[in-house]
Structure 1
Amino acid sequence: MVTNDLAAPTASPLQIARARGRVRGRLILLGPAFVAAVAYVDPGNFATNSTAGARYGYLLVWVVVVANLMAMLVQTLTAKLGLATGRSLPELCRERLPRPLNRVMWVQAEFVAMATDLAEVIGGAVALYLLFGIPLLPGGIIIGVAAFAVLALRSRGFRTFEIAIAVLLGVIVLAFAANLLAADSDPGSAMSGLVPRLQGTDSVLLAAGILGATVMPHVIYVHSALSRDRIPAADDAERRTLFRGQRADVLIALAAAGTVNLAMLLIAAATFHGTAIPGTDSLEGVHAGLGQTVGTAAAFGFAVALLVSGLASTSVGTYAGEIIMQGFLRRRISLLLRRLITLVPALAILAIGLDPTRALVLSQVVLSFGIPFALIPVVAFTRRRDLMGNLVNHPLTTAAAVLVAGLVIVLNTFLLWQMIGG
C-alpha cells in the first residue's frame, strides 16, 4: 500500500480569515484604529472645538480638517510599525535605546497615561453631573469602576474590547450627527471655512491648540501594540495585505473622529457665534447653551456623548499604562492596581474642588510634554529598512512625517510656554 507522507499545507491565519467570506474577512482587519480614534474625541476636544466655533464661527474649519489629516498619517505609521516589527513602540524603545534613556521614556510615558486618565475621568464626571446631578467626586468613582468593566472585556480577547470601543465611538458620532442636524448650520459658510486664514492673535493660539493637540502620545503606544497583536503575516505579500487593511482601518476610524470634531465646531458656530451666551469655553457652559438655543434634546445628546467619551477614553488610557510598563520594563501589574494608580490623581483633584475645565487644561500640559517622546521614535523607526522590511517608509512619507512631527512638537512647545507663562 502506498501512503502519502507529504502533509497538507497549513493555511495561514490570514487565509483562514479570508475563508470566512469577503465581508467578514475584511471586517476582521478593522478595529485597532477605532481604539486610537477615541483619543481624538476626548473631553478636551469637546471644549476646544466648541470654543473655536463660538468665538470665530466657521473660521477654523480648515484647522480641524488639517489636524485630522495629520492624525491619519501618524496613526498609519504607528499601525505599520507594530505590524512590520511585531513589537509595540515601548518594546522597540527598550530594545533599541540606551537603558538610561529607556527609563526616562518610561517615566514620562507613565505621567502621560495618568494625565490622560485625569482628563477623561473628569470629563465623564462632569457628564454624570450634567445628566443626573451626581457630584463630581462620586461621579469620578463611577466612571473609574465602569471603565474597569470595559477593560475587563479584554479577557474575552482583543476583538471584544475593540468592538466595545467602536460601539462607544458610534454613539458619540450619532449624538453629534443628531445635534448637527438640529443646530441648522450654514453649509455655505462651513465650506468657506476650508480656506486657510486667521483673525488676530487669539485665533492663532486657538488654532495652535487644535493642531497641537492632534496627536495623543498614549494612543501611539496603544495602536502599535494592537496592530502587533493582530493577524500574524506568513510572508511579505501577506504583510502588505494586512497593512492595506490597517490603512483602511485608520481612514475609516479617523474619518469618524474627524467628523465628530468638525460637528462640534459647526454646532457651536451655528448656535453660539455672535450671541451673548456666556461660558461656551467650558463643558458646563456648552451644555447650558445648547439647552437654551437648540433644545433639551441637544443638551442631553451632548452630555451623553461626553459621558461615553470619558468612559471610552479612560479605558484606553488605562490600557495604555499597561502597554507602557510591559514594553519599557517588561513587567506587568494587575489591572485593578493599574486602574487605581491612574484613577487616584483624578479623584484627588475632584475631591479638592479644582475647576474641571482648569484641570483639563493642566492635563494637556503634561500630554504636550510627552509628544516628542512618542513621535520622534515612530518616525525614526519607520524609516529603517532593517526594522520595517518591505513596509519601510517611502522617502516622501518620511518627509511628510518629519514635517508633521516637527509642526506638532513646535505647536505643543508654544502652547506649553503660553500655559506656563499665562
Structure 2
Amino acid sequence: MQDGVLSRDAGLQPAAAPRRPGVRTWLWGPAFVAAIAYVDPGNVAANLTAGARYGYLLVWVLVGANVMALLVQYLSAKTGLVTGSSLPELLGRRLRRGPRLAYWAQAELVAAATDLAEVLGGAIALNILFGLPLVWGGLIVGVVSMLVLAIQTRRGQRPFEFVVMGLLLIITVGFMAGLFVSDVSWPAAASGLVPRFAGTESVLLAAGMLGATVMPHAIYVHSALARDRHGHQPHELPRLLRATRWDVLASMIVAGAVNIAMLLLAAASLQGVGGTDSIEGAHAAISGTLGSVIGTLFAVGLLASGLASTSVGCFAGATIMAGLLHVRVPMLARRALTLIPALVILATGVNPTWALVMSQVVLSLGIPFALAPLVRLSSDRALMGDFTNPRGLQVVAWVVVGLVVALNVALIGLTLTGGG
C-alpha cells in the first residue's frame, strides 16, 4: 500500500505538492507542530511541581531533556524524509503480526496517556478562567480539537501548521510572561545545571519531566509530518535536511525556553507557598504573588496548550495506528473515542494534577520503545543509504537511549519499593 494512500485512509491529509524549501519553510514547518508535544499540560504540571518542591534543583533535567529532544526530533524527521515513510510504517513492515500488535498496544497506551494529560490541562484552564466544571471543560476541549483536526483533514497540512503555531505563540507568551516580573535567583538557577537528586521522590519527578519533554508520540509523528510536508525527493535531500536542522533547532529553542521558564517561575514564586500541589493552586499563588494579569496569561497559555497538544496528539495516534495496523479510522472518529477515558477520569473526581503527573511517568516508560527503533533504523545503511547516521552520532544516540532506560529502571524500582 502506498504511503499517501495509507495516510489518507487513516484520516490524515498528506501535502498536495511538496515545494522547494526556502527561508520561510526552514523556520516554519513540521518541527513546530511536533514541538507542541514539549509544552503540553503535562509539562506544566511536572515543571511547576519540580520548581515548587525543589526550587532550581532539577533545571538540569530540562536542559538535558531538551538537548536529547533536539537530536531525537531531527533523527525522526530525517528518517521520514530519506525513506519516504513514517517511523510506524517502517516498523509495521518489519514486525511479524504478534510483535506488531504488542508494539501497537504499548504505543496506543502512550497515546492514551498523552491525550489524558492534554484534555485534563485544557479542562483545568477553562475551570480557572470561567469556572466551568471539569467534565464540561474536557468536552469543550475535545470539540474544539475536532475543529482544529478538521482543518488538517479538509485544508491540508500547511493551514493546520499555521493554526498550531499560532497556539504555540499564545503558549509562549502565557507561560513566559511571569518570568519577567518574578524574582529569579540566577546564581541558584545556574547551580541547578549540576546533575543531582534530593531523595527518591525527586527521581520520580525527574522521570515525569523527561516523559513530558521527550514524548514518544512526537518521535512517531515527526517522521510523518516531515515526509508529508516535503514529500520523498531523493535529489533534494541535502537541502531538505539542512532546512530540517534549522526547523528543529528553532522549535526546540522555543520549547526549551518555555519549559525552563515554567520551572524558574515556580522556583522563584511558589517554593514554600502552601496550596501549590495542584495547577489550580499554583495559578492562585501566581495570581496572588505576581498579579491577576500574569495569572490570567498563565491560564490562557494553559488553555492554548491543551487545545494544541490534544489536536497534535490525536494526529500522532492516527499516524501510529495507520503505520502499525493499516486500520482506516477517520480522524474525527478517533478523536471522539479517545476523549472518553479523559472524561471518565474527570467525572470520577480524581485529582487532575496528580493524574497529569502520573501520565507523564507512563510516557517516560514508553520513550525507549520509540527511541531505540528510531536510532536503529536511522543507522541502517541499507535503509538510509548515504544519509545513515555517522558513527559518532550513533554512539551519542545510543548513549541517550541508555540514559533514558537507566532512569526508567530506577523509576520502576522506586515505585515497586514504595520509594516514590
Counterpart in 2 of 1:313?
309
CA contact (8 A) 2:115 2:338 kept: yes
Residues 300 and 113 of structure 1: CA distance in aligned 2, closer, same or farther (over 3 Å): same
Q: Partner of 1:312: helix, strand, or coil?
A: helix
Deviation at 1:364, TM superposition (A): 2.8
Deviation at 1:417, TM superposition (A): 4.3
Matches within 5 A, 1:14-29: 17=20, 25-29=22-26
Deviation at 1:205, TM superposition (A): 3.9
Matches within 5 A, 1:317-332: 317-332=313-328
CA contact (8 A) 1:217 1:370 kept: yes
- Which residue, 232, 235, 243 being the options, matches 1:245? 243
Deviation at 1:184, TM superposition (A): 3.1
CA contact (8 A) 1:47 1:281 kept: no
Counterpart in 1 of 2:3?
none
Counterpart in 2 of 1:9?
none
Distance of 1:105 and 1:245 partners within structure 2:
32
Residues 254 and 211 of structure 1: CA distance in aligned 2, closer, same or farther (over 3 Å): same
Q: Partner of 1:393: helix, strand, or coil?
A: coil
Counterpart in 1 of 2:87?
89
Q: Partner of 1:184: helix, strand, or coil?
A: coil
Alignment pair present for 1:206 and 2:202:
no
Opposite residue 70 of structure 2, the aligned amino acid is: M
- Which residue, 52, 55, 59 being the options, matches 2:53? 55
Counterpart in 2 of 1:179?
178
Counterpart in 2 of 1:405?
401
User: Normalised by the size of structure 1, how large is the TM-score?
Assistant: 0.90
Matches within 5 A, 1:2-21: 17=20
Distance of 1:351 and 1:203 partners within structure 2:
30
Counterpart in 2 of 1:3?
none
Residues 259 and 88 of structure 1: CA distance in aligned 2, closer, same or farther (over 3 Å): same
CA contact (8 A) 1:212 1:411 kept: no
CA contact (8 A) 2:174 2:299 kept: no
- Which residue, 97, 109, 112 being the options, matches 2:110? 112
Write out per-residue CA displacement over residues 325-381 of structure 1, whole angstroms, 9 at most, x where no aligned residue. 111122211222101111011111111211112222342343234222211110110
Distance of 2:142 and 2:417 partners within structure 1:
33
Counterpart in 1 of 2:134?
136
Residues 174 and 213 of structure 1: CA distance in aligned 2, closer, same or farther (over 3 Å): closer
Residues 213 and 123 of structure 1: CA distance in aligned 2, closer, same or farther (over 3 Å): closer
Opposite residue 398 of structure 1, the aligned amino acid is: Q
- CA RMSD for the aligned pairs? 1.9
Distance of 2:195 and 2:113 partners within structure 1:
32
Which ranges in structure 2 are unaligned for 5 or more consecutive residues?
1-16
- Which residue, 360, 363, 378 being the options, matches 1:382? 378
Q: Partner of 2:20: helix, strand, or coil?
A: helix
Residues 420 and 358 of structure 1: CA distance in aligned 2, closer, same or farther (over 3 Å): farther
Counterpart in 2 of 1:284?
280
Residues 280 and 366 of structure 1: CA distance in aligned 2, closer, same or farther (over 3 Å): same
Counterpart in 2 of 1:164?
163
Deviation at 1:96, TM superposition (A): 1.5
Bigger mean CA deviation after superposition, 44-53 or 239-248 = 44-53
Q: Partner of 2:93: helix, strand, or coil?
A: helix
Q: Partner of 1:17: helix, strand, or coil?
A: coil
Opposite residue 177 of structure 2, the aligned amino acid is: A
Larger Rg: 1
Distance of 2:416 and 2:118 partners within structure 1:
22
CA contact (8 A) 2:37 2:213 kept: no
CA contact (8 A) 1:216 1:367 kept: yes
Write out per-residue CA displacement over residues 10-45 of structure 1, whole angstroms, 9 at most, x where no aligned residue. xxx77x635xxxxxx221243211111111111111
CA contact (8 A) 2:88 2:323 kept: yes
Q: Partner of 1:332: helix, strand, or coil?
A: coil
